[in-house]
Chain A
Amino acid sequence: MLETRDLHKSYEAGEARVDALRGITLKILPGEIVSITGPSGCGKSTLLHILGALDTPTSGQAYLEGHPLHSLSDDKLTALRRLKIGFVFQFFHLLPTLTVEENILLPLLLSGRVNSPARTRARELLATVGLSDRSHHRPHQLSGGQLQRAALARALIHQPSILLADEPTGNLDSTSSSMVIDLITRLARQEKTTVVLVTHSEEIARTADRRIALVDGRIQS
């Protein structure tokens, strides 16, 4: 499903050079829920971005369902994101111009697949995440927990094969956190979606099938 071999990523910032990833080799099976933990700055987001075809490694290989993420063109990477990947971020990242429903339909809008079955699915997802009565609201009218649930619905609307969540509860209170994590695990199991979940919380990490600990750009064994 997801596989990396000796993944390296370094940033050049003028003179300074930051090695964010220093040789990550991992394998994630279909349907698995994997958590990634580690101190701030250890490279979790960087790894997630590469796995999510948002960024490319400096060296090493990454494969998503056999597609070589490290060598594809921007257009191919875009296509993969459209079809196979869903993202949830720490700061929700809904588009402020669009309503909740439009935000959820965004991945389909971008790939020209908004039709009535899609709308039905959007309504179902909204109901599942408990936002049916909020579908025509703007993001700024929602609370953090609601925003993150909407973001989750957006990440799943196009039935991706993998869901990548970068500290999805980092900005939430504990009640909202557990609600969001419950939803992620429930929906992922239901739709057989592979999940990679970056978190700081021990409790959340424990709910995963497997746990990968990063330290300083390496996997701690």
Chain B
Amino acid sequence: MNWFPTLRVFLSHGGRDFFRHKTLSLLNLLALTVGVAAIVAIQTVNETALRSFRASLDLVAGRPDFTIEGQGFRLPEKLILLLRNDPAVREVTPTIQLVASLPDHPGEFLHLVGVDPFSNQELVTYHLEDALRSPTDAIAFVSESDTIALTRPLADRLHLRPGDTLRAVSAGHQANLRVRFMLEPSSDLLGADDHLAIADIATVQSSFGLGGQIDRIEALLRPDASGKITAVRSSLLERLAPNLPAHARAGSPERRGQEVEKMLGAFQLNLTALSLIALVVGMFLVTNTVAANVARRRAELGLLRSLGLDRRSVIILIVGESLLLALLGAGLGIFLGLQVARILLQSVSSTVTSHYVLLSMKDIIVNPWSLLGAGLAGLLAAGLAAWWPAREASLVSPMDALQPGNSADRASSPQSPFLRASLLCLFFTLLFSATALYARIPRTGFLAALGILLAAAFLAPVFGRLLGGLPSPPIASGKLAHSAFLRGLHRHGLAAAALSVAVAMAIGVTIMVHSFRATVDQWIGESIKADLFIAPSTNLIAGALEPLDPQAETLALATPGVRAVGTYREIRLFLNGTPAKLAACRLEILRAYNPLTFLSTLPGDPYELCQKGDFAIISENFARRRQIKPGDTVFLPTPTGTHPLQVAAIFRDYTSESGLLLLDRSTYRRLTQDQGLTSLAIHLEPGISPKTVGDSLREQLRPRGEFLVYSQAGLRDEALRIFDRSFAVTALLRTLAIAVAALGVTLSLTALGVERTREIGILRATGASRNQILRTIMIEAAYLGATGISIGLVTGFAVALILMQVINRAFFGWTIDWHTPYPSLLGIILGMMIACLLASLPPAWRASRLSPAEALRSE
């Protein structure tokens, strides 16, 4: 049929309807907007983190065709020659990077990159400006052995003028660097911030005792006859392989990008899952409003039906109208989401920095595709959400629709389909939990969580009816609210479902985070026994893994009151293409002062095995993620070759998401030739005050650079602070979900308020006061809240179980002991109930202020 004219009629009605019920329409719009905004915000933050992260690896060299970098350890300089002499290579340029502290400017640091300004012309991503002479004297940059280039903001902040010197410290080497050049990062240089500084590679090497070492080599290749480089690259790789050190990783920058993504993968997955939940909650709300819309316009639909509109067209019209609104919501959501992303950026940036690598994100990076994706997700959600009520509306017979009173008065919705759907979801939850854990498809863990949330959602109308079976409060408004709630279940069911999803998620996440925190806290208490800890300040400020001044160990050992000094070296690398943490410490100190709790060991003493031969101890999550047990072999690529290490024991550790491989210091040094330390753990004689020794160490270390000296409690606080910050975004999303759900309560009651205007008129005519109307609607909201919250509470425990036992195990392999945070849960329940009552205030107030005569006249 030609339904275009009908469409026009319907849409113009819809348009008018929109303005007639402004609040309702705006709430609907808001629900969609918030859903889309959540996705956009999270996608954008993810995207920004990832792109900045990738870019930070290519900090000063643009888009090379080929790179070689050292994993965990630096590379020998001679590799440059190897590459330069290859016929396939057109240009080669090396870099070296370090993070240096600035003893004269506490709290500041340099992210110093050594470059070769002659070979990097084609890849350069910054512009140097000679502050002393114009035009820029590039020769001076190389020939003066102490010249560096700073960004202007940092130079201004440190009050440095051209020609001034800057004292920088790294791994115990002090250098006086002369500021001569100003650095102007090109606009597409991501991942760099003010702290970026550039010097000639030889300057960096000689100033900080790194002669002959580089971090990376970037190369441009000559394309083959067909103009491609893929084949050229693989043949080059083959030629180079025999001459590359074991820890070198060579290949295309894209491949490295993918590996890098793995490091952030879990973090991103977490956020994405949360944003999807926001969309699910938003979808419930849309369904709710569309259903309300349809109910309100039954007569109109009946009329159109009687004038010859067929069923399919009814569906198309309703879904189309909802999509039109969704289009507006998606647009607003994208805009709002980008604003939220800007706000989140800081928190995410510091989380990534403390867990993974130094990451600087100046502004959000917008990917038009992910915006489009989020917009489409919103449209899809709105379309899906509208489909169900639209179908229902299409089933209304023309006669039926034209009769006064609405369908819900006549039919009470059947319960069994909901119950069946709920059980089905539960079944899928179990299934996906199993696939996540046993079939090792971790991502299905999120489907399991989604399943349990949907199971709760389907249960909402059923439980609402159960709750309605209880006697009503013995006052007039209580009785009225009770019967209104029961009859309004067709609408409230959805709001209660959204509510239960939000509450379940909030409670699940709260229990998980609390349990995790309590577990970590307890573990810290058991496993951190030293009295004082020393680390370079840059490692905290900039998330770096710079080596400590070796003098610090000597100084500590010589300090009166010190009984023993444990050392700790930490390296991040890839093992079998998966990120891991390699650590080395003096196991004899650990054994004597701070014994590990082993979960399983080889026969014999694991400490002795590790001190004598090529053995390692691994963390529980390392073992779980890689399915390794004592006696198995792990291959460790180092500058001296790949070394097989036999696993001597497994212990519990919460310091690394990717898993920890622990060696004795002697083994580590023998295999890697790396003498560096990352931090010290100092054990004191009994009765000696940590504060006194700490102060004395600080005093002795001051001239040597900037150090952090923690007490035991200080370290614990710092660890928990990082922990809390990591979950800050989670907390924000939790709040968002609750806000969206509360919005659902307002929406549901507003929609019902519109539907029931005449009933309110009748009540007023039969003697109901304004307060009675207000109270009735608020009690109805309380019924609604109680339904959603009860289901949400129970489901929340199941969600927590899935988060800890399925998702966590599948992705991270931590052991999290269950701790129920009763006060927080009580807070969520009360907060949610208050939110429901507050959310009911606007519609309740509106209803109570209706003029009785006007209300009676409404249709």
Interface of A with B (CB < 8 Å)? 45-46, 49, 52, 54-55, 74-75, 78, 81-82, 87, 89, 91, 93-98, 102, 106-107, 109-112, 138-140, 154, 158
Does the CB pair B487–A96 fall under 8 Å? Answer: yes
B767–A78 touching, CB < 8 Å = yes
A206 to B432, CA, bound (A): 77
Q: Is the CB of A110 within 8 A of B487?
A: no
Contact B410 A140 (CB under 8 A): yes
Residues of A within 8 A of B761 (CB): 93
Could you say which residues of chain A place their CB within 8 Å of the CB of B765? 52, 54, 81, 87, 89, 93
Closest chain-B Cβ to A114's Cβ sits at a distance in Å of 9
A54 close to B853 (CB less than 8 A):
yes
Contact A55–B853 (Cβ < 8 Å):
yes
Q: Tell me the smallest distance from the CB of B476 to a CB of chain A, in Å.
A: 5
CB neighbours of A54 from chain B (8 A): 764-765, 851-853, 856
Find chain A residues with CB under 8 A from B480 CB: 97, 109
A98: chain B residues at CB < 8 Å are 483
Q: Is the CB of B405 within 8 A of A109?
A: no
Q: Tell whether, in the assembled complex, residue A109 and residue B476 are in contact, meaning their CB atoms are under 8 Å apart.
A: yes
Give the contacting residue for A89; candidates B487, B768, B856; CB below 8 A.
Answer: B856
Within 8 A of A (CB), among B380-417: 404-405, 409-410
Chain A residues closer than 8 Å to B722, beta-carbon distance: none
CA distance A49 to B854 in the complex (A): 10
Q: B770, A112: Cβ atoms under 8 Å? A: no
- Whether B768 and A97, one on each chain, are in contact in the complex, defined by CB atoms closer than 8 angstroms, is no
Query: Which of the residues B404, B475, B766 comes within 8 Å of A106, measured between beta carbons?
Result: B766
Chain B residue numbers with a CB within 8 Å of A102 are 483
C-alpha gap A102/B482 in the complex (Å) = 13
Contact with A along B466-491 (1 / 0, CB 8 A): 00000000011001100110110000
B766 touching A81, Cβ below 8 Å: yes
Given A49-B853, A109-B479; A140-B409 close (CB under 8 Å): yes
Q: How far is the CB of A111 from chain B (nearest CB, A)?
A: 6
Q: Give the docked Cα–Cα distance between A95 and B856 (Å).
A: 13
Q: Is the interface of B mostly helix, strand, loop or mixed?
A: helix
A-B contact pairs, 9 of them (CB 8 A): A46-B853, A55-B852, A81-B765, A81-B766, A89-B765, A93-B762, A93-B856, A97-B484, A138-B409
Most A-side CB within 10 Å, residue of B487, B851, B853: B853
Interface string of B739-760 (1 = CB under 8 A from A): 0000000000000000000110
Complex CA gap A89/B764 in Å reads 13
A95 to B486, CA, bound (A): 13
Residues in chain B near residue A138, CB distance under 8 A: 409
Q: Is the CB of B767 within 8 A of A107?
A: yes
Q: How far is the CB of B480 from chain A (nearest CB, A)?
A: 8
Distance (whole angstroms) from the CB of B856 to the closest CB of chain A: 7
User: B772 at the A/B interface (Cβ < 8 Å)?
Assistant: yes
B763 interface residue, CB < 8 Å from A? Answer: yes
- Give the residue name and chain of the A residue nearest to B768 (CB): A110
In Å, the complex CA distance between A166 and B625 comes to 78
Shortest distance from the beta carbon of B776 to any chain A beta carbon, whole Å = 10
Give 1 or 0 for each of B22-61: 1 = CB within 8 Å of chain A CB.
Answer: 0000000000000000000000000000000000000000
Tell me the B538-595 residues at the A interface (CB within 8 Å). none
Check if B769 is an interface residue, CB within 8 A of chain A. yes
- Chain B contacts for A49, CB-based, 8 A: 852-853, 856
Question: Are the C-beta atoms of A78 and B769 separated by less than 8 Å?
Answer: yes
Question: In the complex where A78-B769, A91-B404 touch, is A110 in contact with B409 (Cβ < 8 A)?
Answer: no
Indicate whether A97 sits within 8 Å of B404 (C-beta atoms), given known contacts A89-B856, A110-B772: no
Given contacts A49-B852, A138-B409, 8 further A-B contacts (CB under 8 A): A81-B764, A93-B856, A97-B483, A102-B483, A110-B768, A111-B767, A139-B409, A140-B405
Name the distance in Å between A17's Cβ and chain B's nearest Cβ.
16
Question: Closest Cβ of chain B: how far from A27's Cβ, in Å?
Answer: 23
Q: Which residues of B contact A81 (CB under 8 A)?
A: 764-767
Complex formed: what's the CA distance from A189 to B405 in Å? 33
Query: Which chain A residues border B772 with CB–CB below 8 Å?
Result: 110
Contacts of A107 in B (CB 8 A): 766-767
Closest-by-CB residue of B relative to A49 is B853
B704-762 interface (Cβ within 8 A of A): 758-759, 761-762
The interface residues of chain A lying within 8 Å CB-to-CB of B479 are 109
Complex contacts, B767 vs chain A, CB 8 Å? 78, 81-82, 107, 110-111, 158
Q: Are A74 and B770 closer than 8 Å at their CB atoms?
A: yes
Residues of A within 8 A of B759 (CB): 95-96
Which residue of B is nearest A99, CB measured?
Answer: B483
Smallest CB separation, A47 vs chain B (Å): 11
Cβ of A46: which chain B residues have Cβ within 8 Å of it? 853
The smallest C-beta distance from B280 to any residue of chain A, in angstroms, reads: 31
Please name all residues of chain A whose beta carbon is closer than 8 Å to the beta carbon of B475 when the two chains form the complex. Answer: 112
Q: State in angstroms the CA–CA spacing of A106 and B764 once bound together.
A: 11
Q: Which residue from chain A places its CB closest to the CB of B487 in the assembled complex?
A: A97
B405 touches A96 (CB 8 A): yes
Question: B766 to A110, Cβ gap below 8 A?
Answer: yes
Q: Report the minimal beta-carbon distance from A6 to chain B, rounded to whole angstroms.
A: 20
Q: How far is the CB of A94 from chain B (nearest CB, A)?
A: 8
Chain B residues within 8 Å of A78, by CB: 764, 767-770
CB neighbours of A74 from chain B (8 A): 769-770
* Cross-chain contact B768 with A93 (CB below 8 angstroms): no
CA separation between A82 and B852, bound complex, in Å? 14
Q: Is the CB–CB distance between B769 and A96 below 8 Å?
A: no
Q: Which of B404, B486, B758, B767 has the most CB of A within 10 A?
A: B767
B204 CB → nearest A CB, Å: 76
- For residue A172, give the distance in angstroms from its CB to the closest CB of chain B: 14
Task: Verify B766–A75 contact, CB threshold 8 A.
Answer: no
Assembly CA distance A100 to B410 (angstroms)? 15
Contact of A112 with B476 at beta-carbon distance under 8 Å, contacts A54-B852, A78-B770, A81-B766 already known? yes
Contacts of B410 in A (CB 8 A): 140
Closest 5 CB pairs of A and B: A82-B767, A55-B853, A97-B483, A49-B853, A96-B409
A129 → B minimal CB distance (Å): 17
Cβ-closest chain A residue relative to B770: A74
> Chain A contacts of B487 at CB under 8 A?
96-97
Q: Tell me the bound Cα distance from A154 to B405 in angstroms.
A: 19
Report how far A39 CA is from B852 CA in the complex, Å: 24
For A111, the chain B residues whose CB sits under 8 A away are 767
Closest B residue to A55 by beta carbon equals B853
Q: Which residue of B lies closest to A89 (CB)?
A: B856
Tell me, in angstroms, the Cα distance from A91 to B758 when the chains sit together: 11
Give B759's nearest chain A residue, CB to CB.
A95
- Given A95-B759, A109-B476, A110-B476, decide whether A87 and B766 contact each other with a Cβ distance below 8 A: yes
**Nearest Cβ on chain A to B474's Cβ, whole angstroms:** 10
Q: Which residues of B contact A158 (CB under 8 A)?
A: 767
What CA separation (Å) do A89 and B479 show in the bound complex? 24
**Residues of chain A within 8 A of B758, CB atoms compared:** 93
Q: Which residue of A lies closest to B486 (CB)?
A: A97
Q: How far is the CB of A196 from chain B (nearest CB, A)?
A: 14
User: Chain A residues near B762 (CB, 8 Å)?
Assistant: 93-95
**Do A55 and B851 contact each other (CB < 8 Å), given the known contacts A75-B769, A97-B483, A109-B479?**
yes
